[in-house]
Amino acid sequence: MTVFDAPNSYIGRSIPRPNLSRLTQGRGTFVDDIELARMLHAAFLRSPHAHARIVKIDTGKAARLPGVVRVLTGTDIAAVFKPYVGVLTHLQGMRSPPQHPMPADVARCQGEPVAMVVAESRAQAEDAVEAIEVEWEELPAALDMERALEPGEPVIHPDFGNNLCWERNIDTGGVDAAFAAAHAVVEETFHFGRHTGVTLEPRALIADYSKAEEALTVYYSGQSPHMLQGTLASRLQVQEHKVRVVCKDVGGSFGIKIHTYGDEMATCAAAKILGRPIKFIADRQESFVADIHARDHRVTARLAVDKDGHILALEMDDLTGIGPFSMFPRSSGVECNQILNLTGGPYRIPQYRARGRVVFQNKAMMCQYRAVGHPIAVAVGEGLVDLAAAKIGMDPAEFRRRNLLPDDGYPCKSAAGMRFEGLSHQAALAKLLKLMDYDKLRAEQAALRKKGIYRGIGLASMIEVTNPSPMFYGVGGARIAAQDGCTLRLDAAAGLHCLTGVTEQGQGLEAVMTQIAATAVGVTLACVRMHTGDTDKTPYGGGTWASRATGIGGEAVLQAGIELKRRVLEIAARLLKTKPEELDLVESKIVKRGTSEQLMPLYELTRIVYYRTNELPDDIQPELVVTRHYRVKDYAFVFTNGVQASYLEVDTDTGFVRLLKHWCVEDCGRAINPKLVDEQCRGGIVQGIGGALYEHCIYDERGQLVTTTMADYLVPMPVEMPEMEIGHVETPTQTSALGAKGAGEAGTGGAPAAILNAINDALAPLGAKVNAQPSTPEVVLKALGKI
């Protein structure tokens, strides 16, 4: 019997999340050890131009305003903050120039910070920003990624000669022959619009530098405290152990808060210059223009199939524009790289050729956002699958059955070279079709079409990258940990303290880690206290990103718990004059194994260990603290899989799409807390709906972002959310004892594809086809030829 099968196991149970009431108590705990009377506030002057030379900055008037402590420019910050370069060496040929928190010579996108005011209050700082006078020389801007590489286009970094950041090519060698022999070929060009994370809590930090100790403390709303610690230490030239980063509960991040932002780095640099704590919180408009964007891609792809509907080959070309620099430290090439790696991933594809190009442009920088690359990869692959099924007259569900990787065919590799350990595409599809009563739904759709009601059914199979190994970032030279650690400590009252390097972003991490710790050690849930997000206290780890928290951080908790329980039972056996294997620790009680007979409460043992060590044999080292680290060793990633379906109705007069119901079957390995997995899927689906139908960062012809408020940038609200039904298949990964894979991004990755396919299914009788997201009413009406 394993730890998961024990009657007292909390694994696989939908335990309620702990009360995070401190989220509603302002930020008192956020700044407990900072003297608020000394707090200063930062505000930034941002470039109003997409591309402009900074001829002169006059800060004199601003510096004389009430409450202003200092006005700083890019030159001032550069004196204490070393530049950074957002390049990963394993993305061969990638290039990006050194970047400073604030430029001193040229601003390369609207919203780039060029000067900062530090004042006694935020209002005073913002007033002073208005008083800064800048003489600009506006420069030609490269705004269209499809023209960025053409001769005559403005080159953002003249030393490079063109606007190419990175290019990658994949070719298995037999693509041309496969297309020549094909029974049918389908081809499409897909367009995906920029959007961003719109976190409920914006980016925020407080930086406090002690000149006496030469130490920096940063309280921030983010995802990876140790990564930020390394970045700040190396750039500010402060010893790393003297940089403390504290990250408490975060009000949403979705990858937005895991990058190096100029305004945040400048705030830390200003704290070092002035020796006083400085607070910066981005307002909503700043978030739209300065937070990273994602998903801006144009993909042309084609698929070859034989007469029986088997896929022969896939060819694709992806072009993406990333802004004027590659983002540090994760780079802006990963999204394109993921698209090349993941497109068609669920299927047996003998031949594959792909090209990906990443280009610079004078827009906000693009980088990793929830489900990096997955929505594009899945939409392209699943869109082609539906086109191919229609061309040969085959039901799209049957086409998938014939081409999905078999559940008994693992381990195996995809055409792009991705290694799969164990997936369940066929079982997941079968469960989905049963959940949605597929045949009945098709009959209903057909009956409604006769009445002029156009409903569509869209399917989307997918794979998701989770539990990444060092092959993701570490091999490219980035200081981003792939491993994570956990320290478990029993105190004198038998309370279990769990310190972990992964962080709470609102996803229920503390509940899951509590379940794992309580189960592994054998204590009650109420005994566990979580400690996260403090580089001075928690073991070194990568933080929360790429659906890794449970799979990697949770495994570290499990291994630490198993060892701590072993130590407890060893001590108990000596005290009770028996053997450790004859004892068990259940619900914070030492019991006779296999029975409920209590021999000693755990708190009695801990009191002996801490207060009455004279009662212990001399050869016992009473150590009730264990630290364990875990990393994925055998695979670059631990993939999950799933399949989604959308049922919707298109109003052919207005172009509006009404979502009726959405289904998702997810295989995330062992589900530690099924309810939290369900809610991760639902939340991800909603974000996917946003990208599919509503969210779009729109620029005008001068490079000005025009969607800078929540009135212009639409996000799905409750009225737009359909009923969602979630199902599960469990294929525990063999790379860990816990068996957990990630679950945080599948909903976002698959929903846009299912919705796009459903829209096209609804429009099929009218001979119309949509190939762009967000699929707004305008896009639908254009496809129908009505505008």
Give strand pairing partners of 728.
666
Residues 6+ apart with CB under 8 A from 450: none
Render pLDDT for 281-337 as a digit per residue (tens, 0 to 9): 999 999 999 999 999 999 999 999 999 999 999 999 999 999 999 999 999 999 999
Mean pLDDT across the chain, nearest whole number?
95
Task: For the chain, give the percent of residues with pLDDT over 90.
Answer: 93
Given a contact cutoff of 8 angstroms between Cβ atoms, the answer to whether 747 and 678 are in contact is: no
Residue 558 tokens, joined = 């499990």
Q: Which architecture does CATH list for 293-470+634-783? A: 2-Layer Sandwich (3.30)
Given a contact cutoff of 8 angstroms between Cβ atoms, the answer to whether 166 and 94 are in contact is: yes
The band of 1, judged by pLDDT with boundaries at 50, 70 and 90, is low
**Is pLDDT above 90 for 30?**
no
The band of 27, judged by pLDDT with boundaries at 50, 70 and 90, is very low
CATH number corresponding to 20-27+483-630? 3.30.365.10
Render pLDDT for 536-575 as a digit per residue (tens, 0 to 9): 999 999 999 999 999 999 999 999 999 999 999 999 999 9
Residues 6+ apart with CB under 8 A from 49: 107, 110, 136, 138, 139, 141, 702, 703
**Is pLDDT above 80 for 188?**
yes
Average pLDDT in the 642-668 region?
Answer: 98
Q: What is the pLDDT of residue 21?
A: 38
**Is pLDDT above 50 for 25?**
no
SS3 label, residue 58: strand
Element (H, E) at 106: strand 106-107
**Is pLDDT above 80 for 654?**
yes
**Is pLDDT above 80 for 31?**
no
**Is pLDDT above 90 for 114?**
yes
SS3 label, residue 413: strand
Query: CATH 3.30.365.10: which residues of the chain?
Result: 20-27+483-630, 293-470+634-783
Residues 6+ apart with CB under 8 A from 273: 70, 72, 76, 80
Q: What is the pLDDT of residue 36?
A: 58
Given a contact cutoff of 8 angstroms between Cβ atoms, the answer to whether 641 and 422 are in contact is: no
Q: What is the pLDDT of residue 3?
A: 72
Question: 444-450, long-range: CB within 8 Å, 24+ apart, which pairs?
Answer: 449/765
Residues 6+ apart with CB under 8 A from 19: none
Render pLDDT for 117-145 as a digit per residue (tens, 0 to 9): 999 999 999 999 999 999 999 999 999 99
> For residues 609 and 575, what is the distance between their CA atoms, to the nearest angstrom?
11
**Is pLDDT above 80 for 595?**
yes
Given a contact cutoff of 8 angstroms between Cβ atoms, the answer to whether 278 and 120 are in contact is: no
Helix axes 425-436, 438-449, angle to 10 degrees: 50
**Is pLDDT above 70 for 34?**
no
Give strand pairing partners of 364.
none
The band of 38, judged by pLDDT with boundaries at 50, 70 and 90, is confident
> For residues 517 and 689, what is the distance between their CA atoms, to the nearest angstrom?
35
Q: Which architecture does CATH list for 34-139+200-253+257-290? A: Alpha-Beta Complex (3.90)
Query: CATH 3.90.1170.50: which residues of the chain?
Result: 34-139+200-253+257-290
**Is pLDDT above 90 for 451?**
yes
How many beta carbons lie within 10 A of that of residue 577, not counting itself? 6
> For residues 290 and 364, what is the distance between their CA atoms, to the nearest angstrom?
6
Q: What is the pLDDT of residue 6?
A: 74
